[in-house]
Chain A
Amino acid sequence: MTKLVIDNGRVIDPANDIDSVGPVYIADGKIVSVLDKVDTFSADVRIDAGGRIVCPGLIDLSVRLREPGHSQKGRIQSETRAALAAGVTSLCLPPDTKPCIDTAAVVEYIKDKAEAAGFPQVYSIGALTQRLDGSELSSMFALKAAGCIAVSNGHAPLANLLILRRAMEYAATHDLLLMYRANVASLSGKGCAHEGAVASRYGLPGIPYAAESIALAQCLELAQLTGCRLHVSQISCKQSVIKIQQAKKYGLNVSADTAIHQLHLTEDDMQPFDSRYHVLPPFRAQEDRHYLREGLARGTIDAVVSDHQPHDLDAKLGAFPETEPGIASLETLLPLSLQLTRQTGMSLTKAIAGLTQKPAAILRLQAGALTPGFKADVCVFDPDIEWRIDEANWLSAGRNTPYWHKTMRGRVTHTIQGGRLVYRLADSDARERA
């Protein structure tokens, strides 16, 4: 196997408390040494990372690949390429594929497709209930045996709290992580925007924050009751942050993530009726964003995800409420994380931890760190390259992003997955520095 050395980069590895300039040595698909020079190492490939940052490959807890079942929106091939260009080396695929991930056969299919695409670290999240119908438990043990890393019902509602309780108990029986999108369907109804001043002004059906925070409170109670390992996905509001904070304070085994765009956009940023801003949970109020940022800084929110949801053009063409929600966001994950550090003063180490060390810990993966002996998943990025998001440099099949044609600062230049250099930014693009 290829031997690589990444030289002269600023190595930031939160898991090992490293932030220094020095080399990273890779051989046989694994990290050999970090910062300590290995004189005898004879590299096949040398990457000069001068002026760049070297960190563990990013781990994204929620990425829709749209395959199987929705290949008009994206394919495993196209979306994993976008992931690699984004520095993401491991990703979790939510179960709402078509068919959904409720049998081992679907898990195998995804595994095969991902390997064929050259991205072996697609982790399927199994359906919590059969067909995601919210009423009958899935064969969680079989799903785990097939390789599912967690179970979830995606965006689909559960019939009642008893089903959630049983699902938690059963997941706990097999030591499966339960990933939960908190939403009381009867409160969110057909809402498509945050129930606030903007939705009121434009007559858009609103979703109150309480649709999320009430569901979250119930779920936390049941996690306490059942001992289930719980991860709360894509929280969006102040009250959810407070509830997670309290639960952690009282010793509950719970983690949480938020989507990167929730840390930036609010209802006030929405261009009225522009379907690129149609996302669920919706963009909330400025106070909510403030709490999300604070929650991330304090560690209440563990991880940041892309919540990548590529769509075809048709899905976003129509009156706002009838368009499909979601943003194609893999390729903006890192630049927006860097923007967050610039805007809030959050340290780079903290931001990177939310994309690497923390999700690895949630998934119990031996990844997200540049520890010698670990699989060599590495992301090298230049924090100062400015680039414009457009057709020329966008790899996802979904162009449904509010950042289309906007300029981003910070770009991945190299991605190494399992010791293989799987993505390299063209030199001409890499020279476009600020």
Chain B
Amino acid sequence: MPKHIQLTESGRLKHFLTIEGLDKALLTEILDTAESFTGVSEHQIKKVPLLRGKTIVNLFFENSTRTRTTFELAATRLSADVLTVNIATSATAKGESLLDTIRNLEAMHVDMFVVRHALSGAAHFIAEHTAPHISVINAGDGQHAHPTQAMLDMFTIRQHKKQFDGLKVAIVGDILHSRVARSQILALNTLGVAEVRVIAPKTLLPARVEHMGVIALQDMREGLKDVDVVIMLRLQKERMNSAFLPSESEFFNCYGLTEEQLHYAKPDVIVMHPGPINRGVEIASSVADGERSVILQQVSNGVAVRMAVMTMVLGGYGGAA
């Protein structure tokens, strides 16, 4: 992104909108900071005072339970005051513009917006137009980015693989509509993995996807061969009717992750999924619940990673470039 608005002049993280433009050192710092927060959830008092007195507003223009909850939990554990606004059923539904909504909320002296929006670029737009003292974290915008999800995935990979060098990672499924995949691809490449593959039918691959630094494949066996990490994506069932796919069963036959397919990967492969999962559509239950699955660890790690990002953008902890 040519006009980089995420960093302050001193290189600190001001907003977290996308992985693009952030270097390996900064991504590693996010992971290290998250590491330091992993113990907080296990304490008897699950709170640290780092963001005491700060007000964080979760602006969810699009429904989400998992992401919203982990952001709320992360903010609460940092001792911040949290307000969740379900915009989908409030101001904008009455015709108020995105900018007016933001202006009204910022007049209430908040410190951070956590934004989820159905349109690509919405979080970027808010960051550009909000008051200078407010930080913005992108909790998923359209098909563009979901950087905290990508970072919790990176955190989970690092827990299991220790380092990124030399890893081969396959991302399988609906790449076209996935903001998670776009952020994962950027993060994996920045952190220095050896190879990122995307595996999907052509209907679910973005145009010229190889320009993002991936190898695009249509065949699961070829795609999974010798990979260290498999990231399955949610197949958005609502898109089935838009001629992207003939049927769930055909998709599962071709691209579903089963025990048999997993044999093509390395023996110590880990299986990831950003959730929510569709059992029997993109992943077999035996794999989702199997020993190689780290899906629930991803969820747990989500809180620590979001705590890390929140403290870094609000300057409460670490963050120096």
Contact = CB atoms under 8 A, between A and B. Distances in A.
Contacts of B197: none
Contact of B182 (A201, A208, A271, A321): A201
A318 B99 contact: yes
A319 B207 contact: no
Given A272-B121, A320-B119, A200 B208 contact: yes
B121 to A, nearest CB: 4
Interface in A315-345: 317-322
A208 B206 CA distance: 11
A321 B2 contact: no
Interface in B156-213: 179, 182, 206-209, 211-212
B3 to A, nearest CB: 6
Contact of B125 (A202, A206, A271, A319): A319
A318 B207 contact: no
Contacts of B144: 202-204
A109 interface: no
Contacts of B206: 199-200, 206
A196 B207 contact: yes
Interface residues of B, number: 27
Contact of B141 (A201, A314, A317, A319): A319
Nearest to A206: B207
A370 B246 CA distance: 63
Given A271-B2, A272-B1, A319-B141, A204 B97 contact: no
Contacts of A199: 206-207
Contacts of B212: 197, 200-201
A124 to B, nearest CB: 33
B142 interface: yes
Interface residues of A, number: 22
Interface string B114-126: 0001011110110
A203 B1 contact: no
Given A203-B120, A273-B125, A321 B208 contact: no
A204 B118 CA distance: 11
A205 interface: yes
| Most interface-central of A197, A202, A319 (chain B CB within 10 A) | A319
Nearest to A270: B2
Contact of B97 (A205, A271, A273, A314): A314
Contacts of A271: 2-3
A7 interface: no
A272 B144 CA distance: 11
Interface string B301-321: 000000000000000000000
B102 to A, nearest CB: 11
A257 interface: no
B119 A317 contact: no
Interface string A100-131: 00000000000000000000000000000000
Contact of A202 (B2, B97, B121): B121
A307 interface: no
B88 interface: no
A288 interface: no
B2 A318 contact: no
12 contacts: A199-B206, A200-B209, A200-B211, A201-B211, A201-B212, A202-B121, A205-B143, A273-B124, A273-B125, A318-B125, A320-B120, A321-B121
Q: Which 4 A-B pairs have the closest CB atoms?
A: A203-B143, A200-B206, A203-B144, A273-B121
